[in-house]
Structure 1
């Protein structure tokens, strides 16, 4: 019998490869999704409508799962069908009818909703419905639609990126600790300044009014950050960190589009107030 000292010594286990950081995952996901989003906006027409219909359906699925739990296929089918038909109707330039279909989808979902969650379910259908219709109403303008969507992308992305890095670099007082324990006032201010700079750059690129775009950049950045806080509050209310895990590094589609949803809604409302149902992008951009 061999003495234990003569037994071969096992090699130490190789260190595990470090997992990709959350920031790296966010960057990779953004590099894949951003060109698709911009490409759909450039093409317009049905590719753009399909892109936002898919996004709205995923958001609706995440919302139902978040507030009502897994399952609920009939509820999702009823409300999701209303979103799909609304997208088709809006594509045919019938925005009022499309809005009414979203309302009908909410009513249909009430049949399957739990008594204590009915208000939340209806709110989720409105949330996903506005995420669908707002970009479509802006993009339908053949002259200014693409510019309106590009401005939204630039403002929301600049807000998100600059706020992240400024907040980490400077820190300071928290913006709303009871809702989001990591967001700071320095990050919010930096994000707004970054959004204004991005908006002015877009105006320069497209030959638009820089002063108007700077003001729009500030307004939409503030709204996007409020939309981010709103979604954080909803997730905290239901005890969730992320809406889902569909997008590596970002969580769910709701997590990625919370700021865009709010900015697109306000941009659409401003455009509708000034340009009417068929000229929302013109009303938003030309003052």
Structure 2
């Protein structure tokens, strides 16, 4: 076994242990993990897009917003996180619109801030949040693993050759089908129930996960970088590892907000929405 492969395996085991332990514990433990992910994601985003060099004042403002969101998730009651995200993103849009910033600036605030907020909101501090988070993990991991193996086994037309030449339609479809099966299997194990709603949500989250993967590939190709950073030995950066996960969490969180607003059930949880409870 090569030194690089050994390092990659050790890093993967450590990361999995930390994330799964925090997921199991929930509450502040997971909120800290979510906050750290948000901070590291913005660090990588601003580094890749060179915001620190090209727009130092705007980048400093964005850092302040992301730090405040992270602090609210860990030390506050999380009620200010979404207003901070919306206010910061809107200010960055206005800042950019008058020619003093880059559109990558509000994009980074939304991407990093929503990463932390959606992860923390989904897990929460109860058993339902644990099941919801495990459901998303199962869907995203099944998508990633089967998309890779099915794509290599079948091949065929490329999914987005200009963005990610290695991805195929066969892999995307295989990953989505396996994600639906994984989601239904977890639902059956926990609730002893199979439903069309669960299958539909698993499909949406799988497509969202693959979209997130393609989105990060687009950014890296746009700025000519191989990895989002070198923070994780043998794996590259945090964004390289969570790109699909955070987009799936975005979808779950935003769909829940839309559902809550349309039904006036403003206290609806992500877990309740995911499983149609």
Q: TM-score, normalised by structure 1?
A: 0.82
TM superposition shift of 1:99:
1.7
The CA deviation string for residues 17-74 of structure 1, in whole angstroms up to 9 with x for no partner, is 85544xx665543322123212112211111111011111111000111111666887
Among residues 16, 40, 58, which one is paired with 2:22 in the alignment? 40
Q: Is the 8 A contact 1:244 1:251 kept in 2?
A: yes
1:244 corresponds in structure 2 to 229
2:271 corresponds in structure 1 to 281
Q: 1:154-169 alignment to 2 at 5 Å?
A: 154-169=138-153
- Identify which range, 219-228 or 193-202, moves more after superposition: 193-202
2:240 corresponds in structure 1 to 255
The CA deviation string for residues 227-282 of structure 1, in whole angstroms up to 9 with x for no partner, is 11111111111111211122234321111111111110111122223344532321
1:89 corresponds in structure 2 to 72
TM superposition shift of 1:137:
1.7
Residue ranges of structure 2 left out of the alignment (5+ in a row): none
Q: TM-score, normalised by structure 2?
A: 0.84
Q: Is the 8 A contact 2:155 2:171 kept in 1?
A: yes
Q: Is the 8 A contact 1:137 1:277 kept in 2?
A: no
Q: Is the 8 A contact 1:29 1:248 kept in 2?
A: yes
Aligned residues: 267
- Identify which range, 226-235 or 117-126, moves more after superposition: 117-126
Structure 2 counterpart SS, 1:200: helix
Residue ranges of structure 1 left out of the alignment (5+ in a row): 1-16
1:218 corresponds in structure 2 to 203
Among residues 50, 53, 56, which one is paired with 2:32 in the alignment? 50
Distance 1:166 1:116, change over 3 A: farther
**1:59 is the counterpart of 2:41:** yes
Q: Is the 8 A contact 2:132 2:270 kept in 1?
A: no
Structure 1 counterpart SS, 2:49: helix
